[in-house]
Amino acid sequence: MTCSTNDSAAHVIVVGGGIAGLTAADHLLRRRSGLRLTLIEADDRLGGKIATERGDGFVIERGPDSFLAAKPHALALCRDLGLEETLHGPTPRPRRAYVLRDARLHELPEGLSGLTPTRLGPIARSNLLSMRGKLRLTMDYALPMRAGDDDESLGGFIRRRLGDEAWERLVEPLMAGISAGDGDRLSLLATFPQLRRAELEHGGLIAGVRANRRAVGAANPPHPAFLTPADGLDRIVQALAARLRTAGAVLETGTGVREIRRRGERAEVVLRDDRRLAADAVIVATPAYAAGEALARLDQALAAELHAIPYASSAIITLGFPRERIAHPLDAHGYLVPRASGSPILACTWVSEKWAGRAPDGWALLRVFVGRFGRAEILSGTDEDLIAAATAEVTQRLGATGEPTLARVQRWPLGMPQYMLGHPERLRRIEAALEAHPWLALAGNAYRGVGLPDAIASGQTAAERIAAWLATPAWLATPELLAAG
């Protein structure tokens, strides 16, 4: 996989030490030997949104808790890092979820693939939808498809195919659990293009998703849908960091990048502590707004596009209770709260039921997600306010009594990018702008997928772009190298 060339003196700087930046650095070093690579991370730890805490028998994920196995990049990376044996899926016991409606928890019907119902039996038996809502959903088989390649909102698409009830009570809560977004403003083509393809190829959404599932064998997948290292996602970060250090990369934490500019034939990366580092190529793997700030003087138009990608803020409140202080049987993996309910709470995951080994026996570990795009008022409260709101929620819904024995608050201000209508066109403009800067690449979950596998893929793609640039005669002919002989 490695190839040694006369570019051995090249210095590449990766900005951002989340999973995208770490993967970009790792991929590049494995792709080309002899590179000098420096990764600059503003925070005092690596991992970005991946943050795992361990102690007293608990494993607490403060950000993501698993990755989708069907998208290959995260699983392949774990294999490559020797972590495959440590991966496990959610417990098989009650592999189901509830949805809150009219102050009660209703079982989410089985047979949802991604966001789409693929079996009508469980829908017919569900009390989440009214009879009218169920009939409307089946009209998907008869409704004509919309022609043309215009984008539409994710919410608009599902409402058009399956009806308002199916959107508000089934699909929107699932979607918001992924992106904290407002589905009526998100771009269908940027978020779930496969749903539109299903409509175009098969005339209807349900028939299309079923046919695609059969085609990829998803009815009997070789893995659980979601996977994670048994004792926490940060094992991936640790393994990547160890491999990078062994390969000679310098990983600097606690220093942000203030500006990236061009100085002669090279890039200059200015750190917040005023140090200036020269580089032959730069990969920016920060959130888009941070990339926009760093690139503002290099390319105003590019920076404006990056700044225009909005983000949702959210928080996760993790609560631990002795099991006997929760009246609910906790016979599922948790519940989702529809936006239509007006609640700022998005979901509550019953971690101790969903994952083995995350809490000592006799304990219930719960994760309450708060904050929706456009409705982040709840986040202006103190940590104590957030713990009180989460405790009130689980008291009301699950019959928890007393105060939690364990409580953690993790805020993610501007933590989740939102692919609004117009995102695909924005990506095209960003790509066009980057043509003027072949030494520069962007990575991260702001662009082509918000989950971990997408962020990993983006890091690898950025590394390929820079590897290609370092192989071009244009780069090899830079004056410094000619002078160096």
Ligand X SMILES: Cc1cc2nc3c(=O)[nH]c(=O)nc-3n(C[C@H](O)[C@H](O)[C@H](O)COP(=O)(O)OP(=O)(O)OC[C@H]3O[C@@H](n4cnc5c(N)ncnc54)[C@H](O)[C@@H]3O)c2cc1C
Q: Which residues sit at the interface with ligand X, rule CB under 6 A?
A: 15-21, 40-43, 48-50, 63-67, 256-257, 285-287, 290, 294, 314, 316, 412, 415-416, 444-445, 450-452, 455
Q: Considering the complex, what minimum distance in angstroms separates the CB of residue 114 from ligand X? A: 14
Q: At a CB cut-off of 8 Å and minimum separation 6, what does 354 contact? A: 90, 91, 333, 334
Q: Considering the complex, what minimum distance in angstroms separates the CB of residue 293 from ligand X? A: 7
Which CB sits closer to ligand X, 79 or 125? 79
Q: Considering the complex, what minimum distance in angstroms separates the CB of residue 404 from ligand X? A: 19
Strand 276-279 relative to strand 266-271: parallel, antiparallel, unpaired?
Answer: antiparallel
Which CB sits closer to ligand X, 101 or 354? 354
Read off φ and ψ for residue 375, nearest 5 degrees.
-140, 60
Q: Considering the complex, what minimum distance in angstroms separates the CB of residue 161 from ligand X? A: 26
Whether 25 and 244 have beta carbons less than 8 Å apart is answered as yes
Which CB sits closer to ligand X, 394 or 455? 455
For 470, the 3-state DSSP assignment is: helix
Q: Considering the complex, what minimum distance in angstroms separates the CB of residue 383 from ligand X? A: 16
Which CB sits closer to ligand X, 117 or 415? 415
Could you tell me the end-to-end alpha-carbon distance of the chain, in angstroms, rounded to an integer?
Answer: 27
Q: Which residue has the tokens 């970060």?
A: 237
Q: Considering the complex, what minimum distance in angstroms separates the CB of residue 447 from ligand X? A: 9
- Please classify residue 144 by burial: count the beta carbons closer than 10 Å to its beta carbon, then call 0-12 exposed, 13-18 middle and 19+ buried: exposed
DSSP 185-209: TBBHHHH-HHHHHHHHHHSSHHHHH
Which CB sits closer to ligand X, 61 or 165? 61
Q: Considering the complex, what minimum distance in angstroms separates the CB of residue 286 from ligand X? A: 4
- In single-letter form, the type of residue at position 232 comes to G
The conformational region for residue 458 under phi > 0 = left, psi -120 to 50 = alpha, else beta, is alpha
Which CB sits closer to ligand X, 79 or 104? 79
Q: Considering the complex, what minimum distance in angstroms separates the CB of residue 91 from ligand X? A: 16
Closest CA to 337 of 382, 389, 277: 389
**CA 359, CA 244: separation in Å to the nearest integer?**
32
Whether 112 and 170 have beta carbons less than 8 Å apart is answered as yes
Q: Which residue has the tokens 């009830």?
A: 165
C-beta atoms surrounding 140 within 10 Å: 22
Which CB sits closer to ligand X, 138 or 194? 194
Which CB sits closer to ligand X, 20 or 123? 20
Q: Is the dihedral of CA 265, 270, 276, 281 positive or negative?
A: negative
**CA 33, CA 383: separation in Å to the nearest integer?**
47
Q: Considering the complex, what minimum distance in angstroms separates the CB of residue 315 from ligand X? A: 8
Which CB sits closer to ligand X, 240 or 416? 416
